[in-house]
Structures are given as C-alpha cells and as structure tokens.
Structure 1
Amino acid sequence: MLGIQISILVLLIVLSAVFSGIETALMSINQIKVKSLLKQGKKGAETLFRIKQNPQKLIITILIGNNLVNIGAASLATIVFTNLLGSAGVGIATGVMTFLILIFGEITPKTYASQNSEKISLIVARPIELLSILLTPFVWFFGKISGFMSKLLGSGEQAQLSEEELETIVTMGRKEGLLSGEAASMMHNVLKFKETNVSEIMTPKSDIHMVDAKAKLRDILDYVVKTSPSRYPVYSDNKDNIVGIIDVDEILKYVKNKRLDTKVRYLTKKITFIPKLKKIDDLLTELEGKKIPLAIVVDEYGKVSGLVTVEDILEEIVGDIFDKSRRQSIHVKKVNSKLIRVDAKATIEEINKTLHLGLKGEHFETIAGFIEHKLQRIPKRGEQLKLKNVTIEITKADKQGIQSVKIIKS
C-alpha cells in the first residue's frame, strides 16, 4: 500500500512539473512567434494559435490542473508521513513537499520551459485544448469570478504599450518574417514621428531656390527651367525677408499667355513661418489646416534657416517619394578612382562614399551648399576650391548658383 501511495505521489509531482512547464512555455511565446509558426506550417501551430486567442481561458485551465495536482500531492504526502510518523508527520510532510514542489514542480520545469517555449508549446497545445474542453464548466465559473474581481479592483482596462514595447514588437515581426523591411522601417518611423524636430528634416537655406519679388517672369524663366522645385519662396530686398511663394504652374499659365512682363510679386501666395524646434507632427496638422504646402523655418532671431514641405514630413514615414515637387535624380558619375563629375545637388554623403572622402557637410546637405559656404559667395565656372586631399572645380555655374562640379582626389 505504501509503495502505491509513493508512486502516486511521484506521479503528482511530475504532473505539477508538467503544468508549471506548460504555463511558462505558453505564456512566454508571443503572438508574433505563433503567427510565424503558423505561416511555416508547423505541426500544432494551428491549435496553438486558437488557444492563444483566449489567454484567460488558457491560464485558468492550466491553474486548475496545477492546483489540483499540488493539493493532491500535499494531501497524499500528509497521509503517508502521518501513517509513518504519527502527528509529527504533518509538519515534516509540509516541509518535504514544499521543497520537492519548489525544486521539481516549479523552478526546474519553468527554467527548462522558458528555454524551449516553442518546442513545448507546439507539443502541448492539443492536450491543453482538450483539457480546457473537459473543464469547461469550471473554467467558465472561475472566469466569471475573475472578471468580477477585475472590475471590482478597477483593472478592467488593458495597459497601453509603451513606445519601447512597440519598437520591440516591430523588430520581432521583421525578424520572424511577418513584416517586410519596408513595412518595419515605416512603423519605426511612425514611432519616432512625434519626437522629430523641423530642423532635422528641413532643406537648409543655402540649398533653397528663391526668386525676387521685383523680378519679371521673363527674368526668372531660365532659372525656373534649370532648377526643379514646383514652388519657389519669394523674397523682397534680401533672402531673409521672404514674402510668400510662387507656383510653377502659375508661372507657366502666364508664360503661355505671353504675359512675361508680369512681376513675381503679383503671383505670390501666402506662406507661414515656423521655429526650428517645432515638432513635425504639429507642423503637418498646421499645414493641412491652412491648406498650404510648405513653411519657412526661422531661427530665434527671425532669420531664415530653411524650408520644409508637407512631402518632407510624409517622407519621414514612407521614405523618399519622388514627384514633381522633389528634386531631380542626383547623378554622381565616377570617371576613375580619383575623379568624379557630379550634379551640384549631389549630397556630401554620396560623394564621400564614392571617393572614400571625409568631407564634413555641417548643416549643408549638397555639394553646392558646401562650396558656397566655404567661399561665402557663388563661384564662377573654372574656379577651384582646394581642400585637404581633394580639389573641387566648378564646371558649370551662373549668377543664381552652381550647376555641376568636378571633384579630384589627391
């Protein structure tokens, strides 16, 4: 008889270990991983996906099973030790069972399960689903009590995920193949959207194409043809005094009607000014509300720092999208390992990568802005800017700015 009791006791401890391991495995495997297993067609993944849809039902099923075997084991151990040692056996049984369940029924199986959650979850999903069906009345009863207590304690609302948790979920989705690289990148950009300042995405002043309010359309026509924006900021007297914007489509209408003597100021539309530290999500709302496509960025002294468009803001989420309001494709033509010919709109980063240089663009994105900053003026064709290990020669320029350059590595 004693042998049978001990055998049953060992079986109950083993079952306690099984339930503890199952609990850890099923609770630690996340929905992203489950969907990945389902996508791979793993055996048991479909059942695993089903039971994970109702976490309350799942945890109640496991806890009922675990508590039943633990209570059974403790009760049987008390009977065994009482028969052997009399009344002193109660205390001894409590101590022995606490140790056995802690080591063999909790710590060991949970440690193993946490390291093998995927394998274990796929194996136990079907048995746990069947057990949940068998225990349906009890699961329903305890579920109702749990729901009532949760409402009573005010914990009915789900906690919101933090930004860090969302970042982790997106990263995991990418690693598991549930999200493409582009989708994951877009989601990461969305999460960072509210933290981005206008100054981080603006086109710097040195790279902005502007036109004079006093100029006639015939005076700016060549400039408009050579450059690419769909809208130009309009300045009066100096480039820190921007009075509005002019639309290329509007210019073309007047050109078509041979009204080339019309002055720019008559076609100027309103523009808004914003501080450098304004958040781009707030700016997007403002621009959409005012129905204007761009804004001029100013510093604390009211001086023009740059320009930002609605598209610049949206690109922070979706990446570069090129349409008529974007610059034309940037070309870097490598002649040999020490010589490249580039469009003036080529970025410092591209040039550095092509010739393995270390040019520091500071606040200037393009090579044109970099050169004009160094010289403090617009250079003429044929002029050279000599720097350490590199010579930059202007191959095409006019009074409005640089068009192309030749870069020679020493």
Structure 2
Amino acid sequence: MGILVLLVSSALISGSEVAFFSLNYRDYDRLGQEGTGSSKTILWLKEKPRKLLATILISNNFINIAIVILSDFVLKAALPESVFNEWASALLGWFIEPGAEQVAYWGKGISFFITVVGVTFLLVLFGEVAPKVYARINNLKLARLMARPLSFLMQVFHPFSSVLVNSTKLFEARLERSAVGGNTSRADIDEAIELTVSQEKGAGQDIDILKSIVKFGDVTVKQIMRSRVDVVAVDFRIGLSELLEVIQESGYSRIPVYENDFDNVTGILYVKDLLGHLQDPDDFEWQELIRPDVHYVPEAKKINDLLKEFQRERLHMAVVVDEYGGSSGIVTLEDIMEEVIGEIKDEFDDEVEVVYKKIDDFNYLFDGKTLLNDVCRIVGIDTNTFDDVKGEADSLAGLILEIRGQMPKPDAEIVQGAYKFKVVAVNKRRIEQIVVTLPKGPFN
C-alpha cells in the first residue's frame, strides 16, 4: 500500500513538471480571468519558474528514494534470503560446484538485480512516462490539482531549492562567460572593437554597427517594438474613404486591422492591394483584401530568432503579445535591421523617429516613451549602463518608475550613479518629458 501511495505521488509530481511548463499565454489569460484560489496559485508559481522546477525535482528524488528503500524492504519480507541463495546455488550449479560464500554473494546480487529492475520499471512506466503523457494532454487540469501541494512543497524544500537555484545561476554565468571567449566580457569586446576600428575613416558608424552585431542575440522584441499606443491600425468596420485617409496620413505600406480593439487583430492590409480600388465608392468591401495570416510573437523573443522566422515565412510584420495574450504592439523587419545599422529613412519619414532636444553637451530633453537603447545611443553611452536598475523597463519613463517605485511629480530629480534625471512634464497616466544630465555636466 505504501509503495502504491508513493508511486501515485511520484506520478503527480512528474506530471506537474510537464503540466506547468507547457501552459501558454492563453491558459494564463484564462486563469487570470477566473480569479479562483487555484488560478491565483498557478499564476504565483509562474513567477518563480526556477524555484518551482527545483522543488519538483527535489520532491521527486525524495519520493523515488523512498520507493527504492520500501521496495527492498518488501522484497526481503516476501522472499527471505534463503530463497535467493537457492536460486544462486541452482544458477552456479550449471557451471561450478559453488561454496557457501559464493552462494551468499550471488544471492545478494540476484536480490539487488530484481529490486533495481522492478523498481526501475515501475518508476519509468508509472512515475514518468504515463503521467507526463497525461499531463501533456490535460496540463491545465493537472496544474489546478497540484497548485496548492506544490506551493506547500516549495515552502518545505525552500532551503534545498534555494541552494540548487543559486548553484544553477552560478553555473550559467560561467557558461555565458565561456560562450563569449573564456573570461572575456562585453566591455572587453567593445573595447577591442574601438581599438581595432578607431583609426579608420568614418570609424564611428562602423564601431556602432559592430557593437550592435555583438549584442544582437541578446536584444528582445520588447526592446525594439512599436508600442500599441503608437501603432497605426484600423477597425475593419470603417469605410473606404476613412481608410484611405489613414493610409495617406501614416504613409505605411502595411496596416493591422482589428475587431473592436487592438487585442483582437484579425489580419494585415497591404496598401498595394488597394491600388486598383482607389476610385471605388465608400461602401466598397475592402475587408476582402485583408490577409488573415497574422504572425504573433512574445515580448521575450530574441530578435535574431525573429529575423530567421521572418526570412523563413517571408514576412515583414508581426503582432507582439504579452504573457496574458494581449497585444503589446507590432515589430517589423525594418525595426530589426535598424537595431544593427541604425535608423532607416525613406521618402515617407518626414518626422524624426526619436523625438529629443539637445540643450547643451551635457543635457538632453527626451519624451518619456523613448526607448532606453535610443537614449543611450543619442547621448553616447553604453546601452548596458542601466541594466542593473532598469528591471523590466525598456523606456526612459519606465526606468524612472523602476528607480522611484511611484509616479514622480513635476520637477522631481532622480540621481542614478553619475547620471541625473529631471521630470519636466507628467500627467496622471505617464511621464511625458525628462531631462537627462550626463556626468561632468551642470546639475542645474
């Protein structure tokens, strides 16, 4: 009975690993809307993936060890040592005349072999394969069932899981250092680029491009995307004349089309498909020209992987979704290329992409929504300068909120290291303008 209970526990714990780590953003969106106790626990566990995995592995190992020990005890109780000695004597009798010590030695070997083979079969079939197949099909159901037990186990095994997680982080850090050439850091690579290229004509642009290529694989979609508040998109119910006005004003060749709101993008309209219908009446059903093959990407996706997808699928635009399935914005092939070679201008780009004002050599005025990467490029500092304090923020306003922890008041001043930020304009919802002061500049 005890072995059966332990086997069921092992199956539930093993299945939980697949169940929790196979949930997608749609599942999390559904759980967020439910608001039940188990749903909240699952969402809480989602925020601690490393600790959750460590707890599952530690719990499963303890249970498996208990199964092995209990199985050995049960086997010895059911089959006394004399039985194994008889089997060993009969087996050895085919080859030699065995002595008492040989029979005892081989008897223990047979007992150990039966225990190992039997327990391994039970654990693999009923403790690993079967529960993981079930969990793959019923991941949300099993996650709800195991949410509270795992949160309890996470507290019980907190000391062990913390050691395991910290050791893993240390190991990963060493692997990352070796991946870029032993103990070579990003700063060392940047310095080597500057020393190598600085003597050449027009070296400034070449240096920026080379540095961008080095960090290309570390940049996420969220860092380069156009946020939803800045996206030009149209409702599929508008008339042709209104649609043409939006196209003419924006100058874009591809327009996302949504139903009700931007969280429900139904397709992409290619402006070139409208060329033969410019003189059609306002009730022309332009919706038939919408291409429904919308490509969705998560915010955390690396842009080097997205570039490969764009090349493979022959796409130029994707809708960016957050962890709950809502649309965060869009990312285009041009956005990816600009991350390496700088801003690309065409005949429709009348406005400067990054709105800022250079007050003097040490002070710059930026919009709060300006991306941190763009701010660093413009003022001439390393794009990794604020990595230690920016948290999940990608914009200048987000950095201020991460540092302050609350919405600042107008004229508030924030000092971070050698840099100073002054909030110039703010409303109830966001920080609108910020002055960035560089080191050695006037702090007035």
Q: Same fold (TM over 0.5)?
A: no
- Structure number with greater Rg is 1
Shorter-normalised TM range: 0.3 to 0.5
Q: Normalising to structure 2: TM-score of the pair?
A: 0.39
